[in-house]
Amino acid sequence: MIEVNELTKRYGRITAVNGLTFTVRPGRVTGFLGPNGAGKSTTLRMILGLNAPTGGTVTVNGRPFRDRPRGLRHVGALLDAGDVHGGRTAAAHLWVLARGNRIPRGRVAEVLAEVGLSHAARRRIGGFSLGMRQRLGIAAALLGDPPVLMFDEPLNGLDPEGVQWARGLLRRLAGEGRTVFLSSHLMSEMEHTADELVVIGRGELIAAESLRDFAARGARPTVTVRTPDPAALADILTAAGAEVRRDGDGLLAVTGLPAARVGELALDHRVPLHDLTTRTASLEEAFMELTADRADFRSGDDR
Ligand SMILES: Nc1ncnc2c1ncn2[C@@H]1O[C@H](COP(=O)(O)OP(=O)(O)OP(=O)(O)O)[C@@H](O)[C@H]1O
């Protein structure tokens, strides 16, 4: 279990993480989601004891991670796939890590096979593609067979087959009862991967709940209706308690009433309908809506 309590990190005048509190539980894949610059990497680094918090605490299975000798047996992490010695071979890179953490040398071949890199074991990392580096980083995280795994943007640079593979792996690791925590700035990456979500924006917690609850909260269905008399229908629906937005060309976007009720009201008032559709916002839209005022970088923003 990862327990983050009132965690804060300031860099001079910049507050990267502001009073974050959440828990990551074992047996599930937890997605750590937020727009660029939200503070995800900074939080992951504090969990690993690589950055000192300005305030608050974080423990992994009850203890600060820094206090653990042979750390790779407790937490496996992939933070930056580029942060490797390019002149080393994949196998040599893993041997060095294994030796430093008293992990049997035999694990190196096992984890290379696990990530599909056996054929590249004796190749220099400098010649690896981004996807291969990601796989190597995942292999390093798995080396100590740890109960807690953390990955910063692990799907970055993987091709569609690689993404499928990584998803399957993450799910399997959680299925084995491990704590699996991975960051992303894309909801679409989490949609088919995570069970739980921790969503942050500008260093602050926006949501910590199951993916299902998050989806239900953000996605109010919208009924789209087309009519030759939009003004009349808008008045009727507003009077019935709906929120109505006129989208031009006879189109109304209606929230707060189900499609059946919209159709019945139109019939009662003899307003013809040419189209009636229900649309549920995608998870991506729910995420965008929730983080809209807490994204650091937005198109058209001239700050
Ligand atoms: N060493 C540092 N010195 C100064 N500011 C920093 C430092 N590290 C991070 N920051 C700032 O802290 C904020 C959070 O950055 P962080 O990298 O944690 O965000 P992120 O959510 O991981 O973003 P991304 O999705 O773009 O990787 C940003 O405003 C960033 O500029």
- Name the CA dihedral angle for 51, 195, 170, 100, rounded to a multiple of 10 degrees: 30
Asked if residue 248 has pLDDT above 50, the reply is yes
3-state helix, strand, coil in the chain (%, to 5): 40, 30, 35
The answer to whether the CB of 230 is under 6 A from ligand 1 is no
In the structure, what pLDDT confidence band is assigned to residue 262 with cuts at 50, 70 and 90?
very high
In the structure, what pLDDT confidence band is assigned to residue 75 with cuts at 50, 70 and 90?
very high
Asked if residue 296 has pLDDT above 80, the reply is no
Fold of 2-210: Rossmann fold (3.40.50)
Distance between Cα 281 and ligand 1 center (Å): 30
Any alpha helices (H) in 101-229, and if so which ranges?
106-114, 130-142, 160-175, 187-191, 211-218
State what percent of residues in the chain have pLDDT above 90.
Answer: 67
Contact partners, residue 303, CB within 8 Å, separation at least 6: none
* Mean pLDDT value across residues 40-62: 93
* Residue 9 CA, closest ligand 1 atom number: 12
* Mean pLDDT value across residues 45-64: 92
Asked if residue 28 has pLDDT above 70, the reply is yes
CB-CB contact of 272 with 225 (8 Å):
no
Sequence-ordered strand ranges (E) for the chain: 2-11, 14-24, 29-33, 55-60, 75-78, 148-152, 179-184, 196-201, 204-210, 222-226, 243-248, 251-255, 275-279
Distance CA 15, CA 169 (A): 34
- Angle, helices 106-114 vs 90-100, to 10°: value is 130
Distance CA 192, CA 217 (A): 18
The answer to whether the CB of 34 is under 6 A from ligand 1 is yes
Distance between Cα 10 and ligand 1 center (Å): 10
Looking at ligand 1, which residue's alpha carbon is closest to its atom 14? 39
* Tally of CB atoms within 10 A around 269: 13
* Mean pLDDT value across residues 7-14: 94
ipTM over 0.95: no
Phi, psi of 163 (to 5 degrees): -65, -45
Distance CA 168, CA 69 (A): 30
Tokens of 202: 């500008």
Distance between Cα 106 and ligand 1 center (Å): 37
Predicted local confidence at residue 295, as pLDDT: 58
* Mean pLDDT value across residues 229-255: 92
Q: What is the pLDDT of residues 86-143, one digit of tens each?
A: 889 999 999 999 998 899 999 999 999 999 999 999 999 999 998 999 999 999 999 9
Looking at ligand 1, which residue's alpha carbon is closest to its atom 12? 16
CATH for 220-280, options being 3.40.50.170, 3.30.70.980, 3.20.20.70, 3.40.50.11540 = 3.30.70.980
Mean residue pLDDT across the chain: 89
The answer to whether the CB of 38 is under 6 A from ligand 1 is yes
Sign of CA dihedral 177, 199, 68, 166: positive
Contact partners, residue 189, CB within 8 Å, separation at least 6: 31, 155, 163
Sign of CA dihedral 194, 141, 64, 53: negative
Asked if residue 41 has pLDDT above 60, the reply is yes
Distance CA 174, CA 24 (A): 12
Please list the residue range(s) of the chain that carry CATH number 3.40.50.300.
2-210
Q: Residue 209, class by beta-carbon neighbours within 10 Å (0-12 exposed, 13-18 middle, 19+ buried)?
A: middle
Predicted local confidence at residue 98, as pLDDT: 93
CA atoms within 13 A on the CB side of 34: 29
Distance CA 108, CA 86 (A): 18
Question: pTM for the complete prediction?
Answer: 0.80
Predicted local confidence at residue 59, as pLDDT: 93
Please list the residue range(s) of the chain that carry CATH number 3.30.70.980.
220-280
* Residue 296 CA, closest ligand 1 atom number: 29
The answer to whether the CB of 202 is under 6 A from ligand 1 is no
Mutate to test the pocket of ligand 1, among 18, 33, 40, 287 (most ligand atoms within 8 A of CB): 40
The answer to whether the CB of 37 is under 6 A from ligand 1 is yes
Looking at ligand 1, which residue's alpha carbon is closest to its atom 1? 11
The answer to whether the CB of 113 is under 6 A from ligand 1 is no
Predicted local confidence at residue 302, as pLDDT: 40
> Would strands 179-184 and 196-201 be described as parallel, antiparallel, or unpaired?
unpaired
The answer to whether the CB of 19 is under 6 A from ligand 1 is no
